[in-house]
């Protein structure tokens, strides 16, 4: 089969999917940009282009506060999730006898509704919730703990649980790819277990770690369900503010502006992180 | 019993952390009390029984079934062609379009949801089940493409070549050789994409308008403490349905790739 017909066939067959995603991601973005330049005047849209929304968003301390908090919460979630997941990925890839079974066990809980998993944490951490009632019944505490629910801690914990497999799988794949002879060579050359982990395994899995971080960081910045259910007022994130603009506040132009700014901030942090982490990975090696 | 290593102990504790929250919903859905707390007051099926009489619930269930089925069929048919192209052909722009198709996985949900709402309103499509279907098809596509790619990956091209040599046409070869081999992959893709849609909340919340899907209905019930036991019962049924569907999907996927993992 010659190359030209391969290109033609490949392009034609993949076109529906590519165009569908391309259109439904690109077209809304363009319209979102348009909206961000318009203004809402009560019930009408004023279509005169202006940067007023950006000015409002960038000078509003609430917006800045929520944006920074969202990024910090997501960064914390990323660190916690990846740190907890790495040993599991390592265990499954190199130590476990039944890899398939372990991978299945890790993924099954995440085949359930995200909304319900987050909701479950609300029930666990609540004032009259599962955790408090269990601790009271066991006599470990005298009165319910109040610091469990409705704060950043609850959001980080819930998200770290919800995104666990997304950290485990990419790291597992990258550990799986390491040539065992490299580890043997390290041992033969006198490295102890810790040294060969730090100087062989860890640097070679940098790509997996970076992938895991991005897969968790990017979507969690815009998470709506978790901050709404377990965040309380201290755990609100940027997505809550965006939803209000599209809902109760009925200020779509401002909502569009906030969406775009959130996307830009996430993209910026992600790019800086990738460059930083790759450089670090190379230097260790 | 053999002594567990540190890593093994950690792995088991980790599994407990993963499973306990999920299993709490079914546990308390049988609790004979309206507060979710220990100790369990007694066992009852009352909450499940009450679900059958909720007209809005049944309505949203039907909505979810419609949305899930249509989105699954749409995303799987587009995914089928795309996966075939990605595995079988080398072409310029292949990496680019493979990347594009995976995009919905990494864009934050709120941004997909808000931007789609804005798009649909601009072209005159009011929030409706149709809007949700279009959105869910987008979210489900990456799943469909990855599953079907792995189904085509293990497909031996020489089988098709043999069919051509023996005089079959393109369509006949596809129908009698290619399709039967990838059918388990297709079934797996349909089940997984259905579940993605069935469980999805944020997009449906923005786009469903006056026709709630099941997760949107659950969201509306979460606010009422009196309704909590019913929500738990409903949630447990949903968990069970998702897990069952995906276990079946996984079995099919394994059959299609004829290998473990």
Confidence band for B259, pLDDT divided at 50, 70 and 90: very low
Exposure of B208 in the CB half-sphere (CA atoms within 13 A) = 22
Cross-chain Cβ contact A259/B115 below 8 Å: yes
Q: Which long-range contacts (CB under 8 A, 24 or more apart) does B39-48 make?
A: B39/A133, B39/A137, B46/B229, B47/B229, B47/B230, B47/B232, B47/B233, B48/B233, B48/B237
Considering only CB atoms, which chain A residues are within 8 Å of B36?
Answer: 123, 126, 128-130
Tell me, yes or no, whether B37 and B67 share the same domain: no
pLDDT tens track, chain A, 285 positions: 455 677 888 888 888 999 999 888 888 888 899 999 998 887 778 888 888 899 989 999 999 999 999 999 999 999 999 999 999 999 999 888 888 889 888 888 887 788 889 999 998 998 888 888 888 888 888 888 888 888 899 999 999 999 998 899 999 999 988 888 888 888 888 888 888 888 888 888 888 999 899 989 998 998 999 999 999 888 889 999 999 999 888 899 999 999 999 999 999 999 999 898 888 877 765
Burial classification of residue B31, based on how many CB atoms lie within 10 Å of its CB (0-12 exposed, 13-18 middle, 19 or more buried):
buried
Which pLDDT belongs to residue A2? 54
Q: What is the mean pLDDT of chain B?
A: 87
> What is the signed CA dihedral for A42, A36, A67, B220, rounded to 10 degrees?
50
- Is residue B31 helix, strand or coil? strand
Q: How many CB atoms lie within 10 A of CB B46?
A: 12
CA distance A83 to chain B (A): 12
Q: Distance between terminal CA atoms of chain B?
A: 29
Backbone torsions φ then ψ of A140, nearest 5 degrees: -80, -25
CA A219 centroid distance within chain: 4
Phi, psi for A98 (deg, rounded to 5): -105, 80
> Is the residue at B174 inside a domain?
yes
Beta-carbon separation of A116 and B85 below 8 A: no
The Cα B26–Cα A109 span in angstroms is: 13
Contact A133 B116 (CB under 8 A): no
Q: Within an 8 Å CB–CB cutoff, is residue B131 touching chain A? A: no
Alpha-carbon distance of B200 to B143, in angstroms, equals 14
- Chain A CB contacts of B137 under 8 Å are 20
A62-284 placed in CATH 3.40.50.300: no
Contact state of A112 with B115 under an 8 Å Cβ cutoff: no
- Tabulate helix, strand, coil % of chain A (nearest 5): 75, 0, 20
Give the pLDDT score at B64.
Answer: 95
Whether residues B34 and B80 share a domain: the answer is no
Are residues B16 and B81 part of one domain? Answer: no
User: A211 CA to chain B: closest CA distance, Å?
Assistant: 11
Neighbours of A179 (CB within 10 A): 10
Q: To 5 degrees, how large is the angle CA A74–CA A78–CA A79?
A: 120
Q: Is B186 among the domain residues? A: yes
Tell me the per-residue pLDDT of B98-111, one tens digit each, with 9 for 90 and over: 888 988 888 888 88
With CB atoms and an 8 Å threshold, state whether B24 touches A123.
yes
Q: With beta carbons under 8 A apart, name residues in chain B contacting A115.
A: 199, 201, 215, 218-219
Q: Cα separation of A197 and A174, whole Å?
A: 14
In this structure, the answer to whether residues B168 and B120 fall within a common structural domain is yes
Share of chain B above pLDDT 70, in %: 96
Per-residue pLDDT, A160: 93
- Give pLDDT tens digits for B199-227: 899 999 999 989 999 999 999 988 887 88
CA distance A202 to A155: 29
| Predicted interface score ipTM higher than 0.90 | no
Domains in chain B, number: 2
My answer on whether B114 and B215 are in the same domain is yes
- As a whole number of angstroms, the distance between CA B135 and CA A242 comes to 19
Is B50 a domain residue?
no
Nearest alpha-carbon partner for B142 in B66, B67, B196: B196
Cross-chain residue pair A243–B89, CB shorter than 8 Å? no
Residue B260 confidence (pLDDT) above 50: no
Nearest to B201 among A18, A114, A121 (CB): A114
Same-domain check for residues B131 and B159: yes
Which tokens is B37 given?
Answer: 């707390």
pLDDT at A4: 62
B213: left (phi over 0), alpha (psi -120 to 50) or beta: beta
- Asked if B11 and B107 sit in the same domain, the reply is no
Q: Give the confidence band of B74 by pLDDT, cuts at 50, 70, 90.
A: very high
Q: Up-side HSE of residue B139: CA atoms within 13 Å toward CB?
A: 30
Structure tokens at B78: 């587009």
Question: Is residue B148 within 8 Å of B79, Cβ to Cβ?
Answer: yes
> Higher pLDDT residue, B136 or A42?
B136
> Could you list the residue range(s) of the whole structural domain that residue B17 is in?
1-44
Burial of B17 (0-12, 13-18, 19+ CB in 10 A): middle
Same domain, yes or no: B125 and B206 = yes
Quote the pLDDT of residue B261: 36
Which of B169, B167, B218, B178 has its CA nearest to residue B61? B218
Would you call A125 helix, strand, or coil by DSSP?
Answer: helix
- Note whether A161 contacts B18, CB cutoff 8 Å: yes
CATH code of B85's domain: 1.10.3720.10
Same domain, B3 and B59: no
Per the structure block, which two tokens stand in for B248?
């079946």
Do B10 and B131 belong together in one domain?
A: no
């Amino acid at each position: 089969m010659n190359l030209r017909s391969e290109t033609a066939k490949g392009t034609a067959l993949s076109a529906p999917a590519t165009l569908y995603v391309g259109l439904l991601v690109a077209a809304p973005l363009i319209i979102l940009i348009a909206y961000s330049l318009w203004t809402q005047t009560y019930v009408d849209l004023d279509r005169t282009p202006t940067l007023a929304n950006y000015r409002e968003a960038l000078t509003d301390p609430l917006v800045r506060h929520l944006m920074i908090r969202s990024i910090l919460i997501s960064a914390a979630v990323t660190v916690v999730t990846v740190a907890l997941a790495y040993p599991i990925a390592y265990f499954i890839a190199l130590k476990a006898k039944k890899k398939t079974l372990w991978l299945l066990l890790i993924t099954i809980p995440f085949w359930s509704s995200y909304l319900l998993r987050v909701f479950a944490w609300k029930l666990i951490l609540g004032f009259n919730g599962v955790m408090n009632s269990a601790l009271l019944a066991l006599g470990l505490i005298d009165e319910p703990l109040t610091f469990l629910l409705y704060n950043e801690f609850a959001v980080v914990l819930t998200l770290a649980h919800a995104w666990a497999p997304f950290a485990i799988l990419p790291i597992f794949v990258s550990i799986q790819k390491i040539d065992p002879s490299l580890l043997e060579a390290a041992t033969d050359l006198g490295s102890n277990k810790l040294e060969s982990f730090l100087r062989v395994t860890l640097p070679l899995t940098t790509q997996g770690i970076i992938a895991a971080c991005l897969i968790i960081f990017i979507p969690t910045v815009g998470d709506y369900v978790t901050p709404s259910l377990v965040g309380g007022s201290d755990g609100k994130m940027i997505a809550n503010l965006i939803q209000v603009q599209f809902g109760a506040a009925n200020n779509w132009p401002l909502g569009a502006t906030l969406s775009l700014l959130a996307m830009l901030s996430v993209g910026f942090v992600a790019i800086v992180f990738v460059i930083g982490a790759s450089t670090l990975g190379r230097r260790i090696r | 019993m053999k002594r567990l290593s540190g890593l093994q102990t950690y792995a088991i504790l980790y599994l407990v952390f993963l499973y306990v929250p999920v299993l709490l919903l079914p546990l308390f859905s049988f609790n004979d009390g309206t507060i979710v707390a220990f100790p369990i007051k007694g066992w009852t099926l009352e909450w499940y029984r009450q679900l059958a009489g909720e007209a809005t619930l049944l309505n949203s269930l039907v909505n979810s079934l419609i949305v899930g089925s249509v989105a699954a069929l749409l995303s799987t048919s587009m995914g089928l062609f795309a996966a075939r192209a990605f595995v079988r052909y080398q072409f310029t722009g292949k990496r680019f379009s493979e990347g594009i198709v995976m995009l919905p996985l990494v864009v934050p949900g709120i941004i997909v949801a808000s931007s789609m709402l804005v798009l649909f309103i601009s072209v005159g499509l009011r929030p409706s089940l149709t809007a949700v279907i279009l959105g869910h098809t987008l979210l489900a596509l990456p799943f469909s493409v990855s599953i079907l790619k792995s189904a085509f990956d293990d497909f031996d091209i020489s089988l098709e070549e043999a069919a051509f040599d023996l005089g079959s046409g393109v369509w006949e070869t596809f129908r009698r050789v290619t399709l039967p081999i990838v059918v388990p992959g297709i079934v797996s893709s349909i089940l997984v994409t259905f579940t993605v849609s069935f469980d999805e909340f944020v997009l449906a919340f923005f786009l469903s308008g006056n026709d709630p899907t099941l997760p949107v209905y659950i969201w509306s019930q979460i606010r009422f403490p009196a309704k909590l036991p019913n929500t738990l019962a409903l949630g447990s049924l949903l968990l069970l349905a998702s897990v069952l569907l995906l276990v079946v999907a996984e079995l099919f996927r394994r059959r299609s790739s004829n290998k473990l993992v």
